[in-house]
Amino acid sequence: MDDNRVFTIPGDEIAYKDMSLEQLEKLMFEIGEKNFRAKQVAKWLFQHGVNSLDEMTDLPVTLRARLKKIGHAGGLAVLKKQVSQQDGTRKYLFGLHDGNAVEGVLMSYRHGFTACVSSQVGCRMACKLCASGLGGLVRNLSSGEIYDQVLAMQKDVGMRIRNVVLMGSGEPLDNYDHVISFIKKINAEYGLNISYRHITLSSCGLVPQIKSLSEEKMPITLAVSLHAPNNRLRNLLVPINKKYSLQELLSACAHYAGVTGRRITFEYALIADLNDTQELAEELAEKLKKLLCLVNLIPANPVPERGIERTTKTKVVRFKTILEAKGVNVTVRRELGTDIDAACGQLRRRVLGRKSRYE
């Protein structure tokens, strides 16, 4: 028997959507099947989004039966769906095989649909602006579980998804290997073939992983949850800043922009009477004016458990004007799904309960 086998058969069930085409090819070799069968399986999984091996109708019945004995095609249950009456935004609560649940959001723009997916059940970053970290980290999602969120949303609307943002529950770079695997598969020809330039990964600032991401040769958009122009305030809002300072973070971002040629998006959630002052806007402008970047101002979603309240429109305009005067590119996030639980963690906590077994 070949000691270099990638998979042990029999053994734990294989989640086929967790595998790349190359891994599927190795599996086919191990079970004595021809190489081209791997691409057939991959297309059924990653393009057609089947959740049953019986749906792979161009595979021999004998091969389907063998694959069913050693693995499964994944799939998520839609536990709850909300649809905004204002703009059509769809919010999903997806049930996982182990009883946990994660959220996804599908947003409609003029250029097509954008899927916002989760990378973890819960989160351990404890950012003050985010409800998804209130219960801590439960576990990482596999690459297949992340991919299944996109497939479920695409199936629901019956139209192709053109953009993916990793901005749901969890810190994507804290689940680095599975997230990178997901991105590569959804970009692949055997997958949904979504351009790297149509994929955005949002991070609170894990500096070593940002440096690693720079070397992946995947020119995705990196969005960083900044929220403050100095360490004193950022330590309060984004606790990981105590480990990786603002200076280290901005240096890693500059390196990423230099290597990929992609400008960094800095997300800045404006919180009433905390980080929305004129002085802080001026300080932020000085820090960012020489970076290849875009600042995305976000009127903060209220998080009552953390004492977070939304700033006023007047202060948003003032903050934006100050940044633009220093030559910093700025946008104000368009608010979607304000009549539903569209912010990270809101729907999951409301449906499952603050002290549910999922947390």
Query: Which domains does the chain possess?
Result: 14-72 (1.10.150.530), 77-352 (3.20.20.70)
Q: Among 67-81, 137-151, 160-174, 335-349, which is the least confidently predicted range?
A: 335-349
**Mean pLDDT (whole number) for 250-263:** 98
Evaluate whether 200 touches 164 at the Cβ level (below 8 Å): yes
User: Could you tell me if 173 and 201 are in contact, meaning their C-beta atoms sit under 8 angstroms apart?
Assistant: yes
Largest CA distance in the chain: 70
Q: What is the pLDDT of residues 63-91, one digit of tens each?
A: 999 999 999 999 999 999 999 999 899 99
pLDDT at 132: 82
Residue 131, pLDDT above cutoff 90: no
pLDDT-above-90 percentage for the chain: 83
| Selected residue with higher pLDDT from 133 and 19 | 19
Tokens of 190: 């055997």
- Residue 129's pLDDT is 87
Cα end-to-end span (Å), the chain: 43
**pLDDT band, very low/low/confident/very high, at 231 (cuts 50, 70, 90):** very high
pTM of the model: 0.91
Residue 356 has pLDDT above 50, yes or no: no
Phi and psi at 171, nearest 5°, equal -100, 105
pLDDT band with cut points at 50, 70 and 90 for residue 337: low
| Residue bearing the bigger pLDDT, 336 or 125 | 125
Q: Please identify every residue annotated as catalytic.
A: 103, 344
What is the predicted pLDDT for the residue at 6? 39
As given in the structure block, the two tokens for residue 297 are: 């101002």
Residues in CB range of 114: below 8 A, 6 or more apart: 106, 107, 108, 161, 162, 163, 164, 165
Q: Is 187 helix (H, G, I), strand (E, B) or coil?
A: helix
Instruction: Please report the sign of the dihedral spanned by the C-alpha atoms of residue 174, residue 180, residue 183, residue 185.
Output: negative
Which stretch of 131-135, 293-297, 348-352 has the lowest confidence by average pLDDT? 348-352
Give the separation between CA 250 and CA 345, rounded to whole angstroms: 27
How far apart are the C-alpha atoms of 36 and 33, rounded to whole Å? 9
Report the C-alpha gap between 216 and 179 in whole angstroms.
12
State yes or no: pLDDT of 197 exceeds 90: yes
- Give the other-Cβ count within 10 Å of 296's Cβ: 17
Summarize the confidence of residues 280-298 as an average pLDDT: 98
**In this structure, what is the dihedral angle of CA atoms 180, 183, 189, 192, given to the nearest 10 degrees?**
150
Check whether 352 has a pLDDT greater than 70: no
Whether 155 contacts 106, CB under 8 Å: no
